[in-house]
Amino acid sequence: MGKIIKLIIAILLLALPLAARVASMSVPAVFTTAGAELVWLEVEIRNGTGEVYVATKPLVGIQTQDSARTAFAVARKIAGVGSDYDALIRMRESTGSNSVEGPSAGGAMTLLILSVLENKTIRNDLTMTGTIDKDGSVGPVGGVGEKTKAAAYEGMKVILIPRNSDVFDKMVLSVLGKRWNITIIEVSKISEAANLAFGPKNATLKSNVIEVSPNPEVNLTATEINCSGCHIDEFRALANSIINKNRALLDDVKKQNRSEFSYFIKMIESDIDEADNAEKWNYPYTGANSAFLTAINLNFLKDSNVTYDSFRSRMVEVDNCVNNAKRPQMTSENFEWVAGGDERLTWSRKKLYEVFNQNYTSDDDETILLLYKNVLNAESWCNVSNDMYSVAERIGGTPVDEGSLRAFAAGRIAEADSKIKTFGGADFGDATWRFEAAKEEFNKSSFAAAIFDSNYLISTISSLNVSQDAESFLSTEFGSSRTWNGMWAALYGNHAKYLYLKSKELGGTAGSSIMLVEYAHLLDGDAVRMKEIFKNPAAAGQAGQATGATWQTPTSYESELALLLVFCIIIAIFLNLVQFFKKDE
């Protein structure tokens, strides 16, 4: 009898690891049509072999699946467990969306898996947004303001966000966080998030969203950009102009003496210094891009008391800027400047229309404040577009027929479309957004811009297939000097080098450098092709075939359908008349 009891106990003990354990929490997500809302995220851990399974309803994109795998690997490493378990991940949302995509739930997935593996409970008034990296770092995400609002409106008292979140988002949250009565805490590592999430529910936590500090100093040596006839000096002058405007704008903001923004002013001062240093070290795109973002933040600080009327007025001003832009003649010498202006003008128009299509009322000051960044983005893009057009006008040159690039642009759009379909139509964030812009540019016959924006998505997807680790890939890339054929290729390649060297000096990942390198290489080859097409338009068809040109502008058959309908009505009337007269006979 004793042996039987022992056997039963042994069997029960062996069965225990097979018992599924589940943890769940609400996490914020942004949906195009519904703004942001909380999505129910559930993780189930079972005995297994280290596999990750993601439920397919709603359909889950590649980025979300990759985040799930990374989350499981990070959580297992922290918990000190091997590959004896499988993770099953499910999501549920109420917008009616058929798919979920993006890496922003990676941090939350890691917390849930940890809570099961370590048998700890996540406080039920806490949520989180942020990506998860292989080293346990919590990475930046978009829509932090909208996600925080959704969390607050659903009764959450604490939200964890990435420490390196956009400064603009931090400024907005510093204004709205108190109103929403939600504690906003920035974290840089998943271990920080775990300490907060697994703590007692009644523990009082303190917001740190306004505890910003100046950027750590970077000390790089000057570099060279080898690109003959690329007009890099003109771009450097443009970067300097934006930086100088920022210094003047910063002086205006300081005169307002607004103590609640003192933290941000110090950070912006360091941003301007970093942009200035980058330009001095001959990283002109780095300086210009940093100055561009800083200008948006400064404009917000200057006009943070935005009202419905001033918001609408600024939208009208931006709309006028877009509609009154004067595009110069494209030439073989200035085509990259014109294309760059076309891109930014399209981005401005696209971003502005997205704001126009949002639902808000005159008394919805929270939504207006959250949308204000989009308006300022659109404004800055339009201003830079006009600056680029002005430089292109001064460069002048031999006029070219941009229409000769049509087949080549169609090929690039087809290639990008094919690549995104191989990932099940996954949303690649800014890259997908720029691909949508590329189609708009194609329809407006801005073919060079359409090529550039399509290449951004192609490069983003291609960078996922780089077989080398980041350090080996980038050290090889920047181990020797390179001669570039196109201005944008040289600028983006140069910017990638800056980000790589900065990450090495400060310690951190340089994943974005890989994508930028891929983008620079693609732009470089295409700059050569476009120059060849301009010289020999007959080669345009061959360039299109080389990229697999199958994409065409969607055709409208409205007029043909209308004629067919009229014809059918006439036939119907005729047949009815025939039947009528037959009855009379």
Residue 407 has pLDDT above 90, yes or no: yes
Residue 567's pLDDT is what? Answer: 59
- For the ranges 137-141, 360-364, 552-556, which has the lowest average pLDDT? 552-556
Q: With pLDDT > 90 as the criterion, what percentage of the chain qualifies?
A: 53
pLDDT of res. 111: 95
* Beta pairing partners, 88: 44, 53
Which of 112-121, 368-377, 425-434 comes out lowest in average pLDDT? 425-434
Tokens 């941000």 label which residue?
Answer: 264
Top pLDDT among 371 and 260 is at 371
Please choose, from the candidates 27, 297, 266, 18, the residue with its C-alpha nearest in 3D space to the C-alpha of residue 148.
Answer: 27
Q: Report the pLDDT value the prediction gives residue 369, as an integer from 0 to 100.
A: 87
The whole-number average pLDDT for the span 507-528 is 89
Burial letters 500-514, b for 16+ CB under 10 A, else e: bbbbeeeeeebeebb
| 179-193, 461-475, 490-504, range with the lowest pLDDT | 461-475
Q: Is pLDDT above 60 for 555?
A: no
CA proximity to 456, closest of 335, 340, 329: 340
How many Cα atoms occupy the beta-carbon half-sphere of 149 within 13 Å? 21
Res. 103 pLDDT band, cuts 50 70 90: confident
**Which of the pair, 362 or 287, is modelled with greater confidence?**
287
**Encoded tokens for 201:** 């529910």
What pLDDT was estimated at residue 485? 96
Lowest mean pLDDT among 163-172, 243-252, 471-480: 163-172
Neighbouring C-beta atoms of residue 308, cutoff 10 Å = 14
CB atoms within 10 A of CB 393: 15
> Which of 318, 302, 311 has the alpha carbon at shortest distance from 383?
318
Predicted local distance difference test score (pLDDT) of residue 33: 45
**Mean pLDDT rounded to a whole number for the chain:** 85
Predicted confidence at residue 556, as pLDDT, reads 43
Angle between helix axes 284-302 and 365-395 (nearest 10 degrees) is 140
Q: Which of 47, 301, 65, 269 lies closest to 174, judged by CA? A: 301
Q: Which of the residue ranges 250-264, 279-293, 567-581 would you say has the lowest mean pLDDT? A: 567-581
User: For 530-546, how does the pLDDT look when each residue is reduced to its tens digit (9 = 90+)?
Assistant: 999 999 887 665 555 55
Residue 582 confidence (pLDDT): 53
Residues 413-463 have pLDDT tens digits of 999 999 988 887 777 888 999 999 999 999 999 999 999 999 999 999 998
pTM score of the predicted model: 0.81
Q: Is the pLDDT assigned to residue 557 strictly greater than 60? A: no
Task: State residue 569's pLDDT score.
Answer: 59
HSE (side-chain half, CA atoms, 13 Å) at 489: 22
Q: What are the backbone dihedrals phi and psi of residue 87, each rounded to the nearest 5 degrees, phi first?
A: -115, 130
Burial degree of 562 (CB within 10 A; 0-12, 13-18, 19+): exposed
Query: Which range is least confidently modeled, 256-265, 337-346, 566-575?
Result: 566-575
Query: pLDDT band at residue 330, thresholds of 50, 70 and 90?
Result: very high
Q: How many Cα atoms within 13 Å fall on the side-chain side of residue 373? A: 20
pLDDT higher than threshold 80 for residue 256? yes
34-38, 189-193, 560-564: segment of lowest average pLDDT: 560-564
- In this prediction, residue 549 carries a pLDDT of 46
Query: What does DSSP say about strands 183-187 and 131-132: parallel, antiparallel, or unpaired?
Result: unpaired
Flag whether pLDDT at 81 surpasses 50. Answer: yes
With residue 159 as reference, give the H or E element that holds it: strand 158-162
Q: Which residues is 30 bridged to in the sheet?
A: 36
Q: ∠ CA(493), CA(279), CA(428), 5° rounding?
A: 40
CATH number of the domain at 20-197, please?
A: 3.30.230.10
| Backbone φ and ψ of 268, nearest 5° | -65, -35
Domain range summary for the chain, segments of one domain joined by +: 20-197, 401-554
Residue 175 has pLDDT above 90, yes or no: no
Distance CA 132, CA 111 (A): 10
pLDDT digits (tens, 9 = 90+) for 147-167: 998 899 899 999 999 987 778
Confidence of residue 93 (pLDDT cuts 50, 70, 90): low
pLDDT for 468 equals 67
**Rounded to 5 degrees, what are φ and ψ at 33?**
-90, -20
